[in-house]
Amino acid sequence: MSDTNDLPGQDRPAQVEAVQAVVDRIVSWQDGATEDTVREELEKGLSEAGVHVPDGFVDEVVRRVADEETAHFDVAPLLGR
């Protein structure tokens, strides 16, 4: 991943949109997947999008996706936006 795509100091709305798209894809396609699979797919998607996320972000998204009652959610608060 490139440091030029860190959230701080970049076009934040575009970065948030990129992260949201990755998370939405994971939520849609990973229903019933193990936490390890969700984590792997999330990290892969974020890497492909070329974005960095704050510490703890991946853990929180994995927790929310693993919670079967959680549907789509806004990632902006998790990114400090």
What single string gives the DSSP state of each residue in 17-77? HHHHHHHHHHHHH-TT--HHHHHHHHHHHHHHHT----TTHHHHHHHHHHSTT------GG
Confidence tier at 69 by pLDDT (50, 70, 90):
low
Statement: the pTM of the whole predicted model exceeds 0.85:
no
* Encoded tokens for 42: 């999330």
pLDDT confidence of residue 29? 83
pLDDT confidence of residue 2? 40
* pLDDT tens sequence across 16-30: 999 999 999 998 887
